[in-house]
Amino acid sequence: MLLVAWIHIKDGYATIFTNPLITRLSAVFIGVVSIFSFCATSQQSYIQSFEQPQYVLLQSTKIPDTTSYGEFKFYKTDSLIIVGIDHLYIRRPIRDDDFNKNRSLIDLDKDVMAMIADGTSLIPAGKVTKLTINTAQGKDALRFNGGRLDGRFTRTKNNKLIIEGFYKMGIEDSTWTFRDTSSTHVVIQTFVKGERTSIKQFDDDKLVSSTHINTRADTIRNKYIHIGILILLAVGIILWLVKNYRLTFPEQLKLKLVWKWLLCFISPIFIWLLHVGMRILLSDFNHDIFETIATIIFIFIVTCPLMFFIVFLIKLRKEIDVFLYWLLLGLVCSIWTTCGTLIELS
CA atoms of 78 and 182, how far apart (whole Å)? 35
By the 10 Å C-beta count (0-12 exposed, 13-18 middle, 19+ buried), 310 is classed as buried
By the 10 Å C-beta count (0-12 exposed, 13-18 middle, 19+ buried), 166 is classed as middle
CA atoms of 280 and 338, how far apart (whole Å)? 12
Q: Are 194 and 102 in contact (CB under 8 A)?
A: yes
**Cα 77 from chain centroid?**
39
Is it the case that residue 24 has pLDDT exceeding 70? no
CA atoms of 173 and 102, how far apart (whole Å)? 11
DSSP 118: S
The distance in angstroms from the start CA to the end CA of the chain is 37
Number of neighbours of residue 227 by Cβ within 10 angstroms: 17
* 128-184 confidence digits (pLDDT tens): 999 999 988 899 999 999 999 999 999 999 889 999 999 999 999 999 999 988 878
For residue 237, which amino acid is it?
I
DSSP 42: S
For residue 104, give Cα distances in angstroms to 48, 87, 235.
8, 10, 41
Nearest to 304 by CA among 328, 329, 323, 324: 329
Number of neighbours of residue 155 by Cβ within 10 angstroms: 20
* 202-233 confidence digits (pLDDT tens): 998 899 999 999 999 999 999 999 999 999 99
Nearest to 165 by CA among 128, 157, 202, 155: 155
CA atoms of 286 and 288, how far apart (whole Å)? 6
CA atoms of 1 and 34, how far apart (whole Å)? 11
How does residue 95 score in pLDDT terms, banded at 50, 70 and 90?
confident
**Cα 113 from chain centroid?**
27
Model confidence pTM above 0.85: no
* 30-40 confidence digits (pLDDT tens): 666 666 565 55
